[in-house]
């Protein structure tokens, strides 16, 4: 018995076997155009195992027959097919990171190579703890002995006003007053003037001294001077005079002193009034004056605190007096009360004050330039002075708390001495500056051994002083 051929059941034996040339596109067979049936009625044979050509035509030889590209982001093999673009992206990121690192390194190198040579200096310093029981004496600059602490006098005034309701009017009279500087060009001995001494303006107005006066004597060809306040001989606004270049002293007329002892003013006089003035209640007036004094005290403190840096001023040394000025009319029947604060304060030249203080606590500071730096609870208390004695008599005061004396270092001189020198000479050069406590240098670039020849290329940095404590 012959085995049955199962393939014969699929395709009759006598029918010719069609031959197809093509390539597989997915799950379909792409038939070339030349394999089309010869007649429109010719049908393609059924697909079967026998009429399917499973050989894939190589299309890489002819570009026109290449297999169309697939979307490799889909399908089970996508991860392996996409690996190549991701790998390129990672490589590009690494290149950018490397470029950034190189740029930072280059910038750092440039900054390191071209930064300037610097010298850091710690100035010499000494911290002082003051004994408030020990006093110092200050002398008027015009009468100061050699080597003594001298002072000058600063005077200024500040006005303030306050509006209150008026309760009517009344007749009042006030005398004008102002500051004058008395000049002694007569003798090297002080000139004494008694209370009520007259001072006359070119227009014949008379003012008087409220207390006895002593005008310092001449220092060589420099006349002696003193500043005081004088008061008009009578009330009235006509005594509110502008600055006057010369007041004569009628009591000296006919003598040798008449032309050599005189006074002058740098500011206008004020306060003179005679006439009806708006009246206010006593309670309202007291409250207004208290308010104005409080504001004036704040303004005085601010002005004293802003004194020039080349002076030493202790605000609590200031003597403040208040002067009522004529009131002025305001809207709606109110009145402006006016008050003036007159301030007199001694002023020390900072360099001389610091030098005098340094010499009193350190023998080797006599010829050095010193800066006084206030520290914990630093202050001063005055013993025996009033506004009338400032500029006329010496006064005593005491310092308390702590302060630091810091030696001044001439940065330009240090740079000039180091310019062009080898680093081995650094310490020797620095030792020539006794005001320097410590110093360290950094020469740039690091391979150089000499300081720059141009002093301007050497940066001098002043560090915080250390200082030792002295009683």
**Which contiguous run of DSSP H or E holds residue 369?**
none
Joined together, the tokens standing for residue 163 give 């509006």
Q: Identify the pLDDT of residue 59.
A: 41
pLDDT digits (tens, 9 = 90+) for 26-85: 444 444 444 444 444 444 444 444 444 444 444 434 444 444 444 444 444 444 444 455
Nearest to 134 by CA among 391, 397, 430: 397
| pLDDT of 204 | 96
Q: Burial, 369: exposed, middle or buried (Cβ in 10 Å; 0-12, 13-18, 19+)? A: middle
**Dist. CA 349–CA 366, nearest whole Å:** 16
The pLDDT, as a whole number, for residue 386 is 63
CA distance 443 to 449: 7
469 or 198: whose pLDDT is higher?
198
Burial of 283 (0-12, 13-18, 19+ CB in 10 A): exposed
DSSP β-ladder status, 149-165 and 135-140: parallel
What's the chain's average pLDDT? 80
The per-residue pLDDT for range 205-260, each reduced to its tens digit, is: 999 999 999 998 998 888 998 888 999 999 999 999 999 999 999 999 999 999 99
pLDDT, tens digit (0-9, with 9 covering 90-100), for 143-182: 788 889 999 989 889 999 999 988 888 888 989 999 899 9
Region 333-359: mean pLDDT is 90
DSSP H helices in 317-391:
350-361
* Phi, psi (rounded to 5 degrees) for 356: -65, -40
Q: Work out the average pLDDT over 274-303.
A: 92
Three-class SS state of 383? coil
Alpha helices in 78-221 (DSSP H): 78-81, 83-114
Higher pLDDT, 261 or 2: 261
Higher pLDDT, residue 8 or 96: 96
Backbone angles phi, psi at 450, to 5 degrees: -115, 150
- CA–CA distance from 229 to each of 180, 269, 315 (Å)? 6, 10, 21
pLDDT per residue as tens digits for the range 429-470 = 999 999 999 999 999 888 889 999 999 999 999 998 876 655
Cα–Cα distance for residue pair 42/191, rounded to 1 Å: 151
Indicate the SS3 state at residue 389: coil
């Amino acid at each position: 018995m012959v085995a049955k051929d199962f393939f014969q059941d699929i395709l009759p034996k006598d029918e010719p076997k069609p031959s197809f040339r093509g390539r597989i596109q997915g799950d379909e067979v792409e038939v070339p155009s030349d394999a089309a049936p010869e007649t429109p009625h010719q049908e393609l044979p059924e697909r079967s195992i026998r009429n399917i050509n499973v050989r894939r035509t190589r299309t890489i030889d002819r570009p026109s027959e290449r297999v169309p590209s697939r979307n490799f982001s889909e399908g089970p093999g996508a991860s392996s097919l996409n690996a190549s673009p991701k790998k390129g992206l990672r490589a590009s990121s690494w290149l950018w990171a490397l470029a950034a690192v190189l740029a930072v390194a280059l910038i750092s190198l440039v900054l390191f190579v071209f930064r300037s040579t610097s010298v850091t200096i710690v100035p010499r310093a000494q911290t002082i703890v003051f004994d408030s029981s020990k006093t110092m004496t200050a002398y008027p600059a015009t009468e100061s002995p050699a080597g003594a602490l001298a002072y000058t006098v600063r005077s200024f005034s500040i006005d303030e006003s306050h509006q209150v309701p008026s309760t009517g009017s009344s007749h009042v009279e006030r005398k004008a007053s102002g500051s004058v500087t008395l000049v002694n060009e007569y003798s090297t001995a002080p000139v004494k003037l008694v209370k009520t001494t007259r001072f006359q303006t070119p227009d014949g107005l008379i003012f008087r001294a409220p207390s006895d006066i002593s005008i310092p004597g001449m220092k060589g060809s420099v006349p002696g001077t003193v500043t005081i306040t004088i008061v008009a001989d009578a009330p009235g606004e006509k005594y509110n005079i502008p600055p006057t270049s010369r007041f004569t002293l009628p009591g000296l007329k006919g003598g040798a002193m008449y032309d050599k002892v005189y006074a002058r003013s740098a500011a206008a006089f004020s306060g003179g009034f005679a006439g009806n003035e708006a009246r206010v209640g006593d309670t309202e007036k007291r409250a207004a004056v208290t308010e104005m004094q409080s504001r004036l005290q704040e303004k005085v403190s601010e002005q004293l605190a802003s004194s020039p840096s080349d002076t030493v001023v202790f605000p609590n040394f200031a003597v403040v007096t208040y002067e009522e000025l004529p009131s002025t009319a305001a809207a709606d029947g109110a009145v402006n009360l006016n008050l003036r604060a007159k301030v007199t304060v001694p002023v020390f030249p900072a360099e001389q004050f610091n030098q005098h203080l340094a010499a009193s606590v350190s023998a080797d500071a006599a010829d050095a330039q010193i800066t006084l730096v206030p520290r914990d609870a630093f202050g001063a208390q005055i013993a025996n002075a009033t506004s009338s004695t400032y500029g006329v008599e010496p006064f005593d005061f005491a310092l308390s708390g702590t302060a630091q004396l810091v030696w001044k270092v001439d940065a330009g001189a240090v740079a000039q001495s180091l310019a062009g020198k080898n680093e081995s000479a650094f310490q020797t050069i620095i030792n020539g500056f006794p005001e320097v406590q410590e110093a360290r240098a950094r020469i740039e670039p690091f391979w150089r051994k000499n300081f720059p020849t141009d002093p301007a290329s050497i940066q001098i940095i002043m560090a915080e002083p250390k200082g030792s404590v002295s009683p």
